């Protein structure tokens, strides 16, 4: 292929110049060579432009700076000045709404970031904030371009600063489609959502070779920082998929649930699922016995539109569920304990997961629905030494700081500090409902009776019979389903079958909610 980037312009008239322009654009579109494209495909990976075509609506992509080339010299760079400099940037639409995108082109310098490469990304990030539209990064790069030295590192600094400035202003989504090592891993970590593809994408600060040299441990790239590791162990990745096509389709779905920026509400859709649909199946889904597990996902699917939801961090901290769904066509963020895992207790990871999700919902005007069935915080030396106090406080802080509509429903257990933290009325929930199976208390009846009546039980001729009687008395006095409602801590006790219609009505009323936080530079949340 003729390299037009190294050929001086020869045409003297307008038509000739236009012909040269089209030839150059065609070269830009095709990339460095067919061989490089074949090598990319051989790895099971698409090219940057193929990925953009899957992400955006057909024919909507408008490229920015396709003719940009680096100006570095030394180490042979002066002889290699391809157009785009290894990153494709621009904007288009997803479901008809504007979205900005940049995609590393691994075929050019391995997608490594140099000065010109970084400046293109900076520009598209600035445009996204100025236009008030989401930013999606398609990451497939080898980190900083070593031949350009410190200017490449400064380029990353500019990206990190812009990620931080855009946080809570526009949705930022990182899609990992190749290796991402060193400082480059921090940009995705600063964004709202991280998608990964199994086998082809990895994220780590130090690679397997460095890990082995320093610690002696042998580990593969996927074992160290693959999609499954980050989706289930580290919590770095929110979503993991088997192939790029499925991954990018889910990115499009996520974008359909998010507003373009923090000044807008999420897009509403027409809903064929009746708002007053009864959910009598809920009677059987949730056992009245608080010690019996069940799948909270089935409850969520029953009350949301068409049973559809997008679960965030599905495989990490599985004792709590965070999901986006619609109710009567309106987007809602759902936080729910999962009794099927660890009885639905709150622990370090569950607190972190839910806190970040609550903050995201609040930043982008998404009402929060909280479903409670929580026996408390997970006890244990590891949890205490790991800082469950400060991590649990993150969730408490996130809820207390949230100004979007907040509605909670107590299905069964809601004990102790975990009850307070899970958006109780005392920390600002706008409306709190409970099912007739609810038990809201400092602790379970058995534990409470053992503390309050310890001496009485010990002095009894039949301690077990006395304990059973006192447990029954405590439960009837302080844990009956209407105790909290009688004291105004629950707004109403509702028929489980009417949960969907009650919540839709509450959220409709709260749609115009307005709340102001005290004037301050920013808070100082627990870390």
Tens of pLDDT along 459-468?
Answer: 777 777 777 7
pLDDT at residue number 11:
65
Tens of pLDDT along 9-45?
Answer: 556 788 888 988 898 888 888 888 889 899 999 999 9
What is the CATH architecture assignment of 15-257? Alpha-Beta Complex (3.90)
Q: What is the DSSP letter of 33?
A: -
pLDDT at residue number 206:
85
Cβ(321)–Cβ(422) under 8 Å?
Answer: no
Indicate the CATH number for domain 281-438+481-510.
3.90.226.10
Rounded Cα distance between 472 and 455, Å, is: 17
Tens of pLDDT along 63-98?
Answer: 999 988 887 777 777 777 888 888 999 999 999 999
pLDDT at residue number 74:
77
Distances (CA, A) of 280 to 144, 156, 272, 283, 433: 57, 54, 19, 6, 17
Cβ(409)–Cβ(472) under 8 Å?
Answer: no
Cβ(181)–Cβ(143) under 8 Å?
Answer: yes
By C-alpha distance, which of 37, 142, 128 is closest to 90?
A: 128
| Residue scoring higher pLDDT (384 or 442) | 384
Rounded Cα distance between 234 and 102, Å, is: 26
| Residue scoring higher pLDDT (88 or 443) | 88
Over range 496-508, report the average pLDDT. Answer: 98
Cβ(481)–Cβ(434) under 8 Å?
Answer: yes
Q: Please pick, among 132, 329, 386, 417, the residue that the annotation labels catalytic.
A: 417
Which secondary structure element, helix H or strand E, spans residue 121, and what is its range? helix 115-131
Over range 350-360, report the average pLDDT. Answer: 98
DSSP letter for each residue of 362-384: HHTT--EEEEEEE--BPPSHHHH
CATH 3.90.226.10 positions along the chain are: 15-257, 281-438+481-510
Rounded Cα distance between 315 and 238, Å, is: 8
Distances (CA, A) of 447 to 55, 159, 388, 450: 54, 53, 22, 5
Q: Please pick, among 110, 149, 168, 183, the residue that the annotation labels catalytic.
A: 183
Query: Average model confidence (pLDDT) for the chain?
Result: 91
**Model confidence at 205: pLDDT above 90:** no
Parallel, antiparallel, or unpaired for β 202-204 and 320-327?
unpaired
Tens of pLDDT along 288-310?
Answer: 988 899 999 999 999 999 999 99
User: Model confidence at 1, in pLDDT bands (50, 70, 90)?
Assistant: very low
* Residue reference for tokens 């982008």: 364
pLDDT at residue number 4:
54
> Using CB atoms within 10 A of its CB, is residue 400 exposed (0-12), middle (13-18) or buried (19+)?
middle
Active site residue 417: yes
CB neighbourhood size of 96 (10 A): 8
Q: Please pick, among 132, 158, 182, 329, the residue that the annotation labels catalytic.
A: 182
Active site residue 418: yes
At residue 11, the 3 state secondary structure works out as coil
334 pairs with which residues across the strands?
A: 323, 369
Q: Please pick, among 152, 355, 418, 484, the residue that the annotation labels catalytic.
A: 418
């Amino acid at each position: 292929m003729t390299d037009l980037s190294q050929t001086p312009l020869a045409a003297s008239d307008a038509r000739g110049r236009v012909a040269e322009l089209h030839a150059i654009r065609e070269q830009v579109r095709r990339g460095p060579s067919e061989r490089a494209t074949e090598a990319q495909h051989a790895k099971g990976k698409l090219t940057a432009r193929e990925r953009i075509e899957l992400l955006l609506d057909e024919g909507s992509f408008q490229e920015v700076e396709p003719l940009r080339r680096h100006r570095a010299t030394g180490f042979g760079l002066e002889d290699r000045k391809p157009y785009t400099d290894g990153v494709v940037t621009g904007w288009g639409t997803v479901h008809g709404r504007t979205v900005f995108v940049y995609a590393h082109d691994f075929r050019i310098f391995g997608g490594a970031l140099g000065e010109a490469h970084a400046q293109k990304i900076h520009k598209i990030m600035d445009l996204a904030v100025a236009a008030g539209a989401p930013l999606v990064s398609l990451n497939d790069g080898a980190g900083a371009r070593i031949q350009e030295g410190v200017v490449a590192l400064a380029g990353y600094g500019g990206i990190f600063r812009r990620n931080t400035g855009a946080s809570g202003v526009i949705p930022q989504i990182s899609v990992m489609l190749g290796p991402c090592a060193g400082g480059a891993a921090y940009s995705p970590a600063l964004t709202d959502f991280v998608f990964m593809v199994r086998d082809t994408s990895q994220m780590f600060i130090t690679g397997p070779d460095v890990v082995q040299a320093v610690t002696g441990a042998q580990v593969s790239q996927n074992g160290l920082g693959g999609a499954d590791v980050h989706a289930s162990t580290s919590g770095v990745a929110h979503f993991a998929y088997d192939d790029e096509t499925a991954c990018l389709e889910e990115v499009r779905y996520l974008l359909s649930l998010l507003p373009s920026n923090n000044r807008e509400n999420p897009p509403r859709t027409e809903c064929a699922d009746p708002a007053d649909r009864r959910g009598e199946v809920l009677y059987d889904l949730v056992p009245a016995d608080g010690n019996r597990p069940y799948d909270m996902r089935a409850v969520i699917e029953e009350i949301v539109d068409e049973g559809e939801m997008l679960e965030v961090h599905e495989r990490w901290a599985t004792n709590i569920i965070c999901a986006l769904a619609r109710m009567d066509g309106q987007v809602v963020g759902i936080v729910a304990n999962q009794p099927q895992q660890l009885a639905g207790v709150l622990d370090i990871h569950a607190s972190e997961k839910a806190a970040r999700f609550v903050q995201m919902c609040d930043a982008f005007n998404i009402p929060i629905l909280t479903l409670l069935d929580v026996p408390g915080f997970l006890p244990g030396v590891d949890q205490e030494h790991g800082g469950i106090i400060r991590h649990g406080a993150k969730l408490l802080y996130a809820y207390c700081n949230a100004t979007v509509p907040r509605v909670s429903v107590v299905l069964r257990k809601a004990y102790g500090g975990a009850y307070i933290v899970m958006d109780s009325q005392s920390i600002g929930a706008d409306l709190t409902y409970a099912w007739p199976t609810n038990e809201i208390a400092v602790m379970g009846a058995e534990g409470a009776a053992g503390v309050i009546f310890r001496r009485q039980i010990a002095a009894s001729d039949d301690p077990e019979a006395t304990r059973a009687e006192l447990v029954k008395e405590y439960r009837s006095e302080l844990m009956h389903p209407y105790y909290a409602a009688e004291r105004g801590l629950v707004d109403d006790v509702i028929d489980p079958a009417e949960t969907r219609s009650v919540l839709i009505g509450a959220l409709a009323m709260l749609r115009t909610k307005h709340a102001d936080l005290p004037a301050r530079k920013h808070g100082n949340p627990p870390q």
